[in-house]
Amino acid sequence: MNPNAPKASIDRVVGEIERMGAAAHLSQGKFRTVIGAVGEEAILDQNHLASLDGVEKVVPIMKPYKLASREFHEDDSVIEVGGGKVPKVPVGGHHAACIAGPCAVENEQMLYKIARHVRDGGATILRGGVYKPRTSPYSFQGLGTEALKWMRACGDEMGMPICVEVMDTRQVEEMEKYVDCFQIGARNMQNFDLLREVGKTRKPVLLKRGLSASVKEWLMSAEYVLSQGNRGVIMCERGIKTFEDSIRYSLDIGSVPVLNQWSHLPIIVDPSHAAGKRDYVAALALAGMAAGAHGVIVEVHYCPSEAQCDGPQALLPETFKELMVQLRLIAAIHKREFAEAGELASA
């Protein structure tokens, strides 16, 4: 639209796009409004749209991921996680965030103890699995709804939004009442029904890259969420399968600058799952931040040997605290800043 296009003109264009059978998505920046017309190209009369009052030009977006592309939204998106009883934590642009906590919620006492450690160490979003996708059906599968309620209560008490993995479309409605951010795990990156379902909510979605997915395929999965009207997608690079077996997965550091160039969506890295061993987690986290990530998600446990899930990759609280000091220094190079939990609570 023209920079000074009135609301009536914007509404008219939206109405015409919808009349043609496409979906209209508004992206309103500081100086300009862009309206994305998402649908089959054949049903859109571009000449008619170009003739409407207030329209500056009609530009076809050639990439298959329309709403996730820089062509649709030039500025970095900033996703706010939380609200209500907990502060909003911004992710994206100049805002960096750390999501931390146990791999799985094993009991209430353990959750609260780890939550205090990560909050005091510098994390602003609490993670914890309540439904666990495990390779073996005999491994610990999580405690479900009971653990979800513990997460909500703990997050409220600590002043931290909570991020929890959802595994099935049938879980979305119940989990939406509790979580501040849905996590889509690597194995579900192309579970399109689940992506659509979380896209119908207005809770942010942390979308992990699939084990063998290209960056384009990953962005297409984000498009499924965005196409349902949910603009709050945070991308998460967590390592891909390659021939290398010295660590669990190969953390694709190159995907960070690529995604920053191709998309406006924020990206964070998950060094814990890529490394599989705590000795390498800090180095991978720092590398991700140096490449331009907007934050990290890491696993922390005060007694990893007792953890029922992924203990070898969990950082000890003191190591996590040291890592956060280093992450802040690296983030500053990109003019990004990790907020303190106390600052968010008073904002």
User: Would you give per-residue pLDDT tens digits along the chain (347 residues)?
Assistant: 998 899 999 999 999 999 999 889 888 877 788 998 887 777 889 999 999 999 999 988 878 899 999 989 989 999 999 999 999 999 999 999 999 999 999 999 999 999 999 999 999 999 999 986 666 675 666 778 999 999 999 999 999 999 999 999 999 999 999 999 999 999 999 999 999 999 999 999 999 999 999 999 999 999 999 999 999 999 999 999 999 999 999 999 999 999 999 999 999 999 999 999 999 999 999 999 999 999 999 999 998 888 777 788 999 999 999 999 999 999 999 999 998 765 665 45
* pTM, entire model: 0.89
Q: Does domain 79-346 have CATH number 3.30.70.890?
A: no
Q: Delimit the domains of the chain by residue range.
A: 7-51, 79-346
SS3 per residue for the chain: CCCCCCHHHHHHHHHHHHHCCCEEEEEECCCCEEEEEECCHHHCCHHHHHHCCCCCCCCCCCCCCCCCECCCCCCCCCEEEEECCEEEEEEECCEEEEEEECCECCCHHHHHHHHHHHHHHCCCEEECECCCCCCCCCCCCCCCHHHHHHHHHHHHHHCCCEEEECCCHHHHHHHHCCCCEEEECHHHCCCHHHHHHHHCCCCCEEEECCCCCCHHHHHHHHHHHHCCCCCCEEEEECCECCCCCCCCCECCCCHHHHHHHHECCCEEECHHHHHCCHHHHHHHHHHHHHCCCCEEEEEECCCHHHCCCCHHHCECHHHHHHHHHHHHHHHHHCCCEECCHHHHHHC
